[in-house]
Amino acid sequence: MYWEEKIETMVREDLDALQLARLKRTVQKASESYYYKRVFEENGLNPNNITSLNDVRSIPFTTKEALREHWPYGFLAVPKTDLVRVHSSSGTTGRATAIFHTAADINVWADLVARSMYGAGMRKDDVFQNMMTYGLFTGGLGFHYGAERLGALVIPAGAGNSRRQIQLMKDFETTVIHIIPSYALHLYSLFEELGVNPKTDTRLRLAFIGAEPHSTRTRDKIQELYGVKAFNSYGLSEMNGPGVAFECEVQMGMHIWEDHFLIEVINPDTLEPVPDGEEGELVMTTLMREGMPVLRYRTRDITKIYTEPCPCGRIHRRIERIKGRTDNMMIIKGVNVFPVQIEKTLMNVPGVGTNFQIILEREGYDDIMHIKVEIQKDVFTGNVKQLESLRRRIVDELKNETLVTPKVELVEHNSLPQSEGKAVRVIDNRKD
């Protein structure tokens, strides 16, 4: 059993009170770190002045740059001897950041992941194959500890080695997988090649997918191809890693565990809060981490808070699937485009395969969005006229979605580079 009913369904006022008590303690603790001590001094802040949740707004935001500048130990709130583990971010958008944990932090994190998995329907008798990179990346060990906490049998498969993954699934009768969504689509073609049908030849029933933006269409595709229920899992190393926000069995938005994270959504330009239900950048404060508290962290992830309560009964608010990051939003001919918009559009076109690549180029003063799209095998070898009309359809649909007319090139199945980790979608050649 890992359903924490008391915490998950507590009334709002009690959750607010719990958050406030934890916020006070966190700010106090943070003031002992080199970084926050200086920030508080420079801004004339006293941790004792936090008397309401709103008071968090008197504290300046913490940015990824600040974490990078104070690499590695500038944010520690405990002596180094109290630490038991370090993780780091993937470095998707620049230098990685390091996050340190005490034994208590690791324990709390495992509880959160276990709670998330349970909420999505995983149980003690499941066989869990963790197909994420183990090591500094949080997706491997984070889920591993959570699944063990739940009491499941864990296969620490790690990322890659696709043939062995399929073999492990068959031999150990895996029921639950944790997998990067773009890799899940890619792996399916190997299933086909080997003549193994994941629906009938495996015991798979659940998949946790996350670590990168993906559309509902991609989720649906994974569900259809694998015969599983697939749950969106959101996390970031600065807030531990996985176990920050997770879909429940309703599969409509991700509950953010508010007993552990204080959330705000801001307009990334004005830095002012936006009302619930409006899109903005997610900002988070750790409420339970002792080794390295992080206050008002600008995640750069774009989402919004659902205003309606979830039918599952959990009180913790839900966020919409992440649209992308402010720093991988492409500005093409002055128009804002997120890679996930391209993904969503392509995945809806019959005949399109599972992978694509966006290459941004500049011709004269003009931005060109060049998109290479993998096409399903049988379609690619088919009639040239049909291929050209498929290409035109893709151009039109992408133009409708993004307002930019792309240059589309259809390429052979499995011909584009495939990452075992987070997909690399965009190559920007516009920098002079």
Applying CB under 6 A, which residues contact ligand ADP? 89-92, 137-138, 210-213, 232-237, 299, 301, 322, 325
Out of 30, 159, 187, 310, the residue judged to bind Zn ion by CB under 5 A: 310
User: Which CB, 127 or 318, lies closer to ligand ADP?
Assistant: 318
| Ranges of H-type helices in 210-356 | 216-226, 339-347
> Which does residue 301 touch among ligand ADP, Zn ion, none (CB within 5 to 8 A, set by kind)?
ligand ADP
**Judged by CB under 5 A, which stretch of 142-150, 246-254, 277-285, 341-349 contacts Zn ion?**
246-254
**Judged by CB under 5 A, which stretch of 46-54, 148-156, 202-210, 305-313 contacts Zn ion?**
305-313
Whole-angstrom Cα distance, residue 424 to residue 335?
Answer: 21
Q: Is residue 248 part of the contact set for Zn ion (CB under 5 A)?
A: yes
> Which does residue 310 touch among ligand ADP, Zn ion, none (CB within 5 to 8 A, set by kind)?
Zn ion
User: Which CB, 212 or 374, lies closer to ligand ADP?
Assistant: 212
Whole-angstrom Cα distance, residue 61 to residue 411?
Answer: 44
Query: What values do phi and psi take at 391, rounded to 5?
Result: -60, -45
Q: Which two tokens stand for residue 268?
A: 């990334």
- Closest approach, Cβ 305 to ligand ADP, in A, equals 15
Whole-angstrom Cα distance, residue 422 to residue 212?
Answer: 6
CA distances from 369 to 125, 334, 405, 423 (A): 48, 12, 8, 18
Q: What is the 3-state secondary structure (H, E, C) of 22-62?
A: HHHHHHHHHCCCHHHHHHHHHCCCCHHHCCCHHHHHHCCCE
> Which does residue 234 touch among Zn ion, ligand ADP, none (CB within 5 to 8 A, set by kind)?
ligand ADP
- Closest approach, Cβ 239 to ligand ADP, in A, equals 8
Q: Which two tokens stand for residue 228?
A: 């599983």
Q: Is residue 315 part of the contact set for Zn ion (CB under 5 A)?
A: no
- Closest approach, Cβ 117 to Zn ion, in A, equals 14
The per-residue DSSP string of 361-414 comes to EEETTEEEEEEEEEE-HHHHTS-HHHHHHHHHHHHHHHHHHHSS--EEEEEETT
Q: Is residue 244 part of the contact set for Zn ion (CB under 5 A)?
A: no
> Which does residue 322 touch among ligand ADP, Zn ion, none (CB within 5 to 8 A, set by kind)?
ligand ADP
Binding site for Zn ion (CB under 5 A): 248, 250, 310, 312, 314
